[in-house]
Amino acid sequence: MDRAHLETRRFLIVTGKGGVGKTTVCAAEALQLANKGKRVLISLCNAKERLSKMFGTKPVGSDVVQLAERVWAVNMDPERALEEYGEMVVRSRSLNALLFANKYARALFRGVPGMHEWAMLGKAWWHTTEKLPNGEDRFDVVILDAPATGHGLDMLRVPKVILDVVPPGLLRRDAERAWALFRDEKECAIVLVTLPEEMPTTETLELASALRDELKLPIAKLVVNCMLPPLFSPAERAALTGIPPIEPRTAAESALAAAQHRAVREKVQAESLKRLTESLPLAPSFLPLLLCDAAAPNAIAELARRVA
Ligand SMILES: Nc1ncnc2c1ncn2[C@@H]1O[C@H](COP(=O)(O)OP(=O)(O)OP(=O)(O)O)[C@@H](O)[C@H]1O
Ligand SMILES: [Mg+2]
């Protein structure tokens, strides 16, 4: 199977270090899948959302809203997701209202470790099971804009914990179905997003080994975001980084200092790519560092063309 080929998957989990471009990649992937005719839902995890800016629409709240042709989004609120889940499980609005209106019941739910994470992860998974009145799937693909590294891992650990500790029942049944989907590489793909820099690379490699070795989840794609187009050959880089940094006094010296600075960044970029490709059996997809506002709709359209 072409592992980077995402359009046959039902569920994509986009994760990576904070601020590396996860939401940007979600938007770009969603747009390019929609361009291929897929109906796509982006699920945000209670985010200070910037997705609406990327599509030039009104803010995304906890109701599903359409952002573009065949692209929808929801910003999941864990309390609300829990209530909705309660409603589905209890199958009675009044009984559920009673349950959730009761402060002790609410406190109990809130107190269970991982309940908020499961409320959001479970809700995102549940959207893969939603049907239209004609019986077709409401969404072909659900993209989870997962929390950054550690929190993302904690969230993905929850279904397994439920399977380990919760007795048979509805909660366990749904967790089982969701977990089976997440572990199936034909149905689910984890998309790792990183920057070609030292710390994000280290964090990405740690995240990848936890996903692969501990959780046995299928990593299908590595997106290296904010790539600089190399201006220098390896020999030129070595020459520029080999001379001591200069204190520029003339325009020519300023140009040399800028070239040195750029050469250092290109060197770090090349070293980071080497570490990533040596440790992960994936051909990375590259997104360029845009010099315009990357959260503007035309920038997202450009990144969507490149992310495929
Ligand atoms: N390829 C790019 N070129 C230039 N700027 C980019 C690029 N990708 C993302 N950005 C910018 O970097 C910032 C962070 O991007 P984004 O919000 O997608 O990251 P994130 O990983 O979702 O962050 P968080 O962890 O806070 O959710 C944004 O301002 C975004 O517009
Ligand atoms: Mg984000």
Q: Is the pLDDT of residue 161 over 60?
A: yes
Check pocket membership of 296 for ligand 1, CB cut-off 6 A: no
> Is residue 237 included in any domain, yes or no?
no
Residue having the nearest C-alpha atom to atom 18 of ligand 1: 21
Quick one: average pLDDT of 60-85?
93
Q: How many domains does the chain have?
A: 1
Query: Could you say which ligand is closest to the alpha carbon of residue 193?
Result: 1
Check pocket membership of 306 for ligand 1, CB cut-off 6 A: no
Percentage of the chain modeled with pLDDT above 70: 90
Residue having the nearest C-alpha atom to atom 4 of ligand 1: 290
Check pocket membership of 228 for ligand 1, CB cut-off 6 A: no
Check pocket membership of 148 for ligand 1, CB cut-off 6 A: yes
> Is residue 77 included in any domain, yes or no?
yes
| Domain harbouring 23, CATH code | 3.40.50.300
| Residue 17 CA to ligand 2 centre (angstroms) | 10
Instruction: Give the per-residue pLDDT at 1.
Output: 47
Check pocket membership of 287 for ligand 1, CB cut-off 6 A: yes
- pLDDT tens-digit series, residues 184-232: 999 999 999 999 999 999 999 999 999 999 999 999 999 999 999 999 9
| Residue 145 CA to ligand 2 centre (angstroms) | 7
Domain residues for 156?
11-230+272-307
Residues with C-beta atoms within 5 A of ion ligand 2: 22-23
- pLDDT tens-digit series, residues 14-47: 999 999 999 999 999 999 999 999 999 999 999 9
Quick one: average pLDDT of 81-89?
75
> Is residue 241 included in any domain, yes or no?
no
> Is residue 60 included in any domain, yes or no?
yes
Query: Could you say which ligand is closest to the alpha carbon of residue 53?
Result: 1
> Is residue 253 included in any domain, yes or no?
no
- pLDDT tens-digit series, residues 219-232: 999 999 999 999 99
> Is residue 257 included in any domain, yes or no?
no
Q: Which residue has the higher pLDDT, 26 or 111?
A: 26
Residue having the nearest C-alpha atom to atom 16 of ligand 1: 21
Query: Could you say which ligand is closest to the alpha carbon of residue 227?
Result: 1
Q: Is the pLDDT of residue 3 over 80?
A: no
Instruction: Give the per-residue pLDDT at 265.
Output: 96
CB 292 within 8 A of CB 54: no
Helices 93-101, 103-111: crossing angle, 10 deg rounding: 80
| Residue 59 CA to ligand 1 centre (angstroms) | 17
Give every strand in the sheet of 11-16, ordered side by side: 65-68, 71-76, 40-45, 141-145, 11-16, 188-194, 219-227, 285-288
| Residue 294 CA to ligand 2 centre (angstroms) | 13
Q: Is the pLDDT of residue 77 over 80?
A: yes
Instruction: Give the per-residue pLDDT at 250.
Output: 94
For the CA atoms of 173, 177, 179, 184, what is the dihedral angle to 10 degrees? Answer: 160
Q: Is the pLDDT of residue 99 over 80?
A: no
> Is residue 259 included in any domain, yes or no?
no
**E strand spans, the chain:** 11-16, 40-45, 65-68, 71-76, 141-145, 188-194, 219-227, 285-288
Ligand 1 atom, smallest distance to 227 CA: 1
CB 111 within 8 A of CB 155: no
> Is residue 6 included in any domain, yes or no?
no
